[in-house]
Copies of this chain bind each other. A is one copy, B any other.
Amino acid sequence: MPVLADPSIDQHGARQRILDSTAELIIEHGVAGVAQRQIAGRVGIRAASLYHHFASKNEIVEAVFRRGIDVMEHAWDEAAERTRGADPRTRLAAHIRAHLSALFDHGPYTAAHVTAFRTAPATVRDAVVPMRDAYEARWAAFLGELATDGELADGTPVGLSRLALFGAMNTTVEWFDADRGNLDELADTITHQFWNGVAA
């Protein structure tokens, strides 16, 4: 059972760098707009060498999308644990902030997922959909719980409200600049708008 320092790091390093570059390029150009020679160029290898790490382009793309969900779920779990037993509004705020963290703080994977998943090849989508549904189910369960606890206004269409919230959060990747803006402020604004609305 050999313990190697550099090789094993590089091994994962190459895979990682391939996925990183692919995710960044997907955000910019969409899945179909990314060529493997582009990916390889960013990583610093030749296109053919990608096949040492992945069996096909679709496999790379699928790995990016899966990672995007992984990141979201980890962010969710961390927020859930941190706010266990807290009041509903605090828990909601934590989960919104966690989702935005997944989009901006933990690599380009989640952002690539939410912007490009819909236009990916059907085979890729079908393979990832179950994972994706599992994450959405967490939100659905959480908001459903709030509803049955009487925390939401009567007659609130929980499913539609969740999707509207998702829309508000996910499209931030199109305009929010994490380097210049304040992510906490953004999360507070979205949370407040979802919870209280904008009316005087």
Contacts and interface: CB of A to CB of B under 8 A. Distances in A.
Contact of A172 (B28, B150, B163, B190): B163
A33 B57 CA distance: 14
Q: Which of A28, A157, A165, A197 gathers the greatest number of chain B CB atoms within 10 Å?
A: A197
Interface residues of A, number: 44
A170 interface: yes
A199 B125 CA distance: 34
A7 to B, nearest CB: 36
Interface string A183-199: 00010011011111111
Nearest to A117: B174
A163 B175 CA distance: 8
Contact of A198 (B163, B166, B168, B194): B194
Contacts of A189: 157, 160-161, 164
A95 to B, nearest CB: 14
Contacts of A168: 164-165, 167-168
Contact of A161 (B152, B171, B193): B193
Interface in A113-162: 115-116, 118-119, 150-154, 156-157, 160-161
